[in-house]
A and B are shown apart, each in its own frame.
Chain A
Amino acid sequence: MTRLLPWLYLAAAFLFIYLPVAALVLFSFQDGGLPVPPFEGPSLRWYADILSDDDVMAALTNSLMVAVASAAVACVLGFLAAYGLARHVLPGSALIRGLLIAPLTVSYLIVGLGLLIVIQRTGLGLSLFTAGIGHVVINLPLCFAIIYASMGAQQQNAERAARDLGADEFRVITLVTLPMLAPALAAAFFLSVTLSWDEFIISFLLTRFDVTLPVEIWSMLRSGLSPRLNAIGSLVFLISVTAVLVLEIFVFRKRRP
């Protein structure tokens, strides 16, 4: 019995974890107008509805753009900071590390509210761009932490060797450090993309006419119960999971010896 217990627990845990996803996906194929039992279907009408909705498709593109751009900026800034702190002796480096990590301990709502106030006061105007700025703020600490943590002595020795052979700092970074850090950089980049892609409250507060997908879904959610929500939710899940699996198989698996 005690041997079985872990497996029972595992089964129960997976049931709990997959319950909402299963309900979501099942009722995305609902033939009727409401995503509640009884299930009548299957039908693809709500997928057709979503795919022909220009606003939803525009929001999807916007989300992708903001996610990739903000993740790239966060990674570059995070890498530079990690390199500076790991390879150079700086005064007050503990303080600097603390400051760079600090946004991690602050709720997204507070980051968004603060930026909203400043942007309104300066009359800068809200857009996807300002939402992207907010996303860099929340992703920079993660990128920094991930990259900083993987800058071990092993890389340092390789860098020193390169330097001894006469490489300047730029060449050391591009030819030695970056390739060795590629897995950490990829992890930081894709984590940032994931978080930005799905982030709601900052985008909600900081966008104007063009919105990201979570904001578009939120306004759909406010405008009425419909299997459209299930369809878009399932679609987003499908896209994300495909990306995760592709990365897992083609990028991260290779890392392993």
Chain B
Amino acid sequence: MNRLKTALTGTTVLTLAAGAAMAEGELNALVWCDHTDPGLIEPFEQAFGVKVNLREYEGTGAALALLEQSRPGDWDVLVIDGIDVFRAVDAGLLAPLPDEALPTDDFFPQVVMAENNSVDGVTYAVTEKFGYNTISYNADKVDPADMQNLSAVWSEKYDGRISIYDYYLPVMGLAAIANGIDTAGIDGASLAAIGSTLGEMRARAASVAGVVAAQTALATGEVDIVVGGGEWLTAVLAEEQPELTWTIPQEGAVRWAQSIGVLESSENKDMAVEFVKYITSPEGQARLATSSCFWGMPANAKAGEFLTDAQKNTLRWDEQPDYLARTQLYPAPDTDLDIEMQDLWLDTLQQ
């Protein structure tokens, strides 16, 4: 029924060929949980008279499989890990975006990431949000100076006081950085060194935790350090327990970035582009940055005009130039390396 409606609306829009048509309709988006905040979505729905249907997903692999098996018109918008945009493009899933409609000139220059978001000069996606996978800790329980040095973080001093964030890419990225390996340079040969660091971490860790488990563990004193944490983990806790904070160690840390794009099979592309424009606009960016699921830095620097000083403080707005300079993007393995990395990760967990 939904599909029929979407299809009909799609056809109507095409027939009218009316640019940013204000047609009644639905937009189906495959997203991360931060997009499900009504505070973010409702203003768009009201402005354009559409219903935005949202579905969360977990990993890029699963999202790509879902999209490949879907039928035309099933999906309009995709939010995807910045490093994985090329995989979606390779699979022919993303449609080109009109460069002139995107406010990338206002972005923090380091997060425009044209090399990730475009292929052969054609833009397929645009960065919308970023942040860091680094070290979150309890400043009352650990020596903040130790947190400046990755090997001190998982040293014997903090044995059993550590939780590892349950996502292999950023954590293995941190392990690589600790070994002086660039995240972009991770290959089959460097996995041995990464694996042994991962083993050390694992041996010191009390748990390998998802978002809630890591937050619970930090908030209740179960652990004092979360490896792979960051502002997205501690921002919601900081209000109650200001001693829970995060830092970027000397060696650097991993930067995550999420991109948004329009699907090639969408039958409502104009509305989908409108949605992308809304999300990357200063207002949309400010809402996305502080959305209920997790906070993160907006890609668009003009979002600052719509954020309060307290919000900017939590996001560490003023320190971004320094942080951006010292962090590297998540590792972006190809399919084979990805499987090797996942296997190494699961093996380490099961030890």
Contacts and interface: CB of A to CB of B under 8 A. Distances in A.
Check A-B contact in the complex, CB < 8 A: yes
Interface of A: 32-34, 36-37, 54-55, 120-121, 123, 125, 208-209, 219, 221-226
A226 B236 CA distance: 9
Contacts, number: 56
8 contacts: A32-B240, A54-B38, A121-B69, A123-B71, A208-B55, A219-B33, A222-B33, A225-B237
Contact of B240 (A34, A37, A55, A222): A34
Interface stretch (B194-202, B211-219, B316-324, B330-338): B211-219
B220 A224 contact: no
B281 interface: no
A65 B236 CA distance: 34
A54, A120, A223 interface centre (most CB from chain B within 10 Å): A223
B151 interface: no
A54 B220 CA distance: 30
Interface in B303-332: none
Contacts of A37: 220
Contacts of B211: 222-224
B69 A223 contact: no
Contacts of B237: 34, 225
A225 B33 CA distance: 14
Given A120-B69, A208-B55, A224-B212, A33 B28 contact: no
Contacts of A120: 69
B294 A223 contact: yes
Nearest to A228: B292
A36 B210 contact: no
Contacts of A36: 216, 219-220
A123 B73 CA distance: 13
Contact residues on B (Cβ < 8 Å of other chain), bracket: 20 to 34
A232 B294 CA distance: 20
A32 B210 CA distance: 22
B212 A125 contact: no
Given A55-B36, A222-B210, A226-B236, 17 more contacts: A32-B240, A33-B240, A34-B237, A34-B241, A36-B219, A36-B220, A123-B69, A209-B53, A219-B56, A221-B212, A222-B211, A223-B33, A223-B292, A223-B294, A224-B212, A224-B294, A225-B237
B140 interface: no
A123 B146 CA distance: 54
A224 B240 contact: no
A209 B28 contact: yes
Given A54-B38, A209-B53, A224 B3 contact: no
Nearest to A207: B55
B293 interface: yes
Contacts of B212: 221-225
A37 to B, nearest CB: 8
Interface in B29-58: 33, 36, 38, 53-56
A121 B69 CA distance: 8
A33 B239 contact: yes
Contacts of B38: 54-55
Contacts of B69: 120-121, 123
A228 B294 CA distance: 15
Contact of A225 (B28, B56, B219): B219
A224 B215 contact: yes
Contacts of A222: 33, 210-212
